[in-house]
Amino acid sequence: MTRPHVLLSVAVSLDGYIDDASDERLRLSDDADFDRVDEVRAESDAILIGAQTLRRDNPRLLVHSAERRAVRVTAGKPEYPLKVTVTASGEVDAGLRFWHHGGDKLVYATDAGAARIGDRLAGLAEVAALGREIDFGVLLDDLGARGIDRLMVEGGTGMHTAFLAADLVDELHVAVAPILIGDAGAPRFVGPAEYPGGAARRLGLVDVARVGDMALLRYAPRASANG
């Protein structure tokens, strides 16, 4: 069984945060970077976001460009990528915008979380139970069986950490904004974990580019700094 190619995408401040600690979402990307992300979404078969980020940011998670959506349809793909979220607890709000915009939606949950969701998302999303715990390798196997070739992981901290710690990321895009947040209570790109290769392992840098006023760093996490 072939697992999807996993691209992890994140925008961070200069000091490594993905948001501030306020109730309002902080806009880190500029218009040029949002357009770049829209292009990456359009090239993906599925987009994944954690349930905590879903609750915090209430995103629609769409491909906004009508032209890019048309290209997808011409290629025989759905207009929108499959939208995926992951919840261990099953605490999901059926009123969130995620469920009411775009194409098909899929929720991965623990057995207990799926039972807690019950019929709450009936007609809005498919719910798939993964067992007592969330196993991201099993999740990728299931997506591969569904014909997903390219998966874009957009966050948040828990999802970034889980995929990197399990060594499941093929490509990493880090868009660095010229912003300092400096708030210890704000969410960071990743959290503490036992990452593959040990402490302070260097990732393979593939490319550095300027996008608007941001620096886009592309890494191959499974490659060494020396190739």
Topology (CATH level 3) of domain 5-220: Dihydrofolate Reductase, subunit A (3.40.430)
pLDDT of residue 222: 76
- Interatomic CA distance for residues 5 and 44, integer angstroms: 9
- Beta carbons of 83 and 46 less than 8 angstroms apart: yes
Which is nearest to 218 in space by CA: 155, 157, 166, 175?
175
Handedness of CA 8, 10, 91, 147 (dihedral sign): negative
pLDDT at site 223: 66
The pTM assigned to this predicted structure is: 0.94
Instruction: Give 150-188 as a DSSP string.
Output: EEEE---HHHHHHHHHTT--SEEEEEEPS-----TTSPB
**Can you give the C-alpha Rg of the chain in angstroms?**
17
Predicted local distance difference test score (pLDDT) of residue 227: 43
* Cα 226 from Cα 205, distance rounded (Å): 9
- E runs forming strands in the chain: 5-12, 46-50, 82-87, 105-109, 126-129, 150-153, 171-176, 204-211, 214-220
Tell me the backbone φ, ψ of residue 10, rounded to 5 degrees: -150, 145
- Per-residue model confidence (pLDDT) at position 197: 78
Structure-block tokens of residue 217: 């760093």
What was the pLDDT predicted at 174? 98
Q: How confident is the chain (227 residues) per 10-residue block, as mean pLDDT? A: 94 96 90 98 98 93 98 98 97 96 97 96 96 96 98 95 95 97 93 82 93 97 58
Q: What is the pLDDT of residue 225?
A: 43
